[in-house]
């Protein structure tokens, strides 16, 4: 599956159980979208499954917003 | 596998230790644990006096304990290590059939994603080969 920011946004909305429109590019998952910190692990697993990649554990702390998550994926996939 | 292996990993004790036996452990793949449910369980006193049913939240708790056992064994925590503190942070579950006194609950845990301090697991609980509940949970080690 090729990298696509809209799809990343959809996955984040699904995992965080919020509307897609709420997942703004720089909205912080914990502070703005009321996610708990372990949602990042669920997000990591969902992104791995969707894009067929491995995201190392040390990237977990970088999955804080749509933009930051996308940057991590770009680094791995592009 | 001996019972002490369970108590070496799980910090839980009576009346909240909800695993009686590790039936099978396959590294990286799965763990299958057993909980024998008897009429002497403390929760049956009130849930419910006329019709004893194992509370669904305790089925989830039993599954989470089986998950901790998997995590503990995967991380070599089954000796005399200091016990960790575990936090269940997210649960999705379907309850399909009641669990009653006399049932043996077979709990199968399959890891979906494991990191050093947390894990996502799928669980299926069966009685007499029939699925009574299934779901997914996330826990973290504090």
Q: Which of A36, A45, A60 lies nearest to residue B120, judging by beta carbons?
A: A45
Q: Residues of A numbered 41-60 whose beta carbons fall under 8 angstroms of chain B's beta carbons: which are they?
A: 41-42, 44-45, 48, 57, 60
SS3 A39: helix
**Shortest Cα distance from A39 to chain B (angstroms)?**
9
Q: Is the pLDDT of residue B1 over 80?
A: no
Across the interface, do A57 and B116 touch by the CB < 8 Å criterion?
yes
pLDDT in tens, B66-118: 999 999 999 887 666 677 789 999 999 999 999 999 999 999 999 999 998 89
Chain B residue closest in CA terms to A42: B120
Across the interface, do B113 and A38 touch by the CB < 8 Å criterion?
no
- pLDDT of res. A4: 92
Model pTM score: 0.89
DSSP B53-64: ---HHHHHHHHH
pLDDT in tens, B14-66: 999 999 999 999 999 999 999 999 999 999 999 999 999 999 999 999 999 99
CA distance B84 to B129: 33
Across the interface, do A41 and B112 touch by the CB < 8 Å criterion?
no
DSSP B68-112: HHHHHHHTT--SSPPPP-EEEEEEEEEE-S---TT-EEEEEEEEE
**Shortest Cα distance from B108 to chain A (angstroms)?**
20
For chain A, 78 residues long, the average pLDDT of each consecutive 10-residue run is 92 96 96 91 94 94 96 94
Question: Exposed (0-12), middle (13-18) or buried (19+): which is A47, by Cβ within 10 Å?
Answer: buried
**Shortest Cα distance from A57 to chain B (angstroms)?**
7
**Nearest in space to B110 (alpha carbons), one of B25, B20, B34, B35:** B25
CA distance A72 to A11: 15
Interface confidence, given as ipTM, is 0.79
Q: In this structure, what token pair is assigned to residue A15?
A: 């995992």
- pLDDT of res. B46: 97
- pLDDT of res. B81: 63
User: Do A46 and A11 contact (CB within 8 A), yes or no?
Assistant: yes
Across the interface, do B140 and A48 touch by the CB < 8 Å criterion?
no
């Amino acid at each position: 599956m090729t990298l696509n920011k809209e799809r990343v946004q959809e996955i984040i909305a699904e995992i965080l159980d919020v509307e897609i429109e709420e997942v703004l590019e720089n909205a912080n998952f914990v502070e703005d979208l009321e996610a708990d910190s372990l949602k990042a692990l669920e997000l990591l697993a969902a992104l791995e499954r969707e894009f067929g990649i491995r995201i190392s554990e040390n990237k977990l702390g970088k999955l804080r917003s749509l933009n930051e998550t996308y940057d991590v994926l770009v680094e791995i996939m592009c | 596998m001996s019972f002490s292996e369970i108590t070496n990993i799980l910090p839980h004790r009576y009346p909240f230790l909800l695993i009686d036996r590790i039936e099978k452990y396959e590294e990286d793949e799965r763990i299958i644990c057993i909980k024998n449910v008897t009429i002497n369980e403390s929760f049956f006193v009130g849930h419910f006096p006329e019709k004893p049913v194992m509370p669904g939240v305790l089925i989830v708790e039993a599954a989470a304990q089986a998950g901790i056992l998997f995590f503990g064994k995967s991380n070599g925590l089954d000796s005399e290590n200091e016990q960790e503190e575990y936090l269940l942070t997210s649960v999705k579950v379907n309850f399909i059939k009641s669990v009653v006194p006399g049932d043996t609950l077979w709990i199968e845990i399959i890891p979906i994603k494991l990191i050093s301090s947390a894990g996502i697991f799928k669980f299926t609980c069966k009685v007499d080969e029939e699925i009574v509940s299934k779901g997914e949970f996330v826990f973290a080690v504090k």
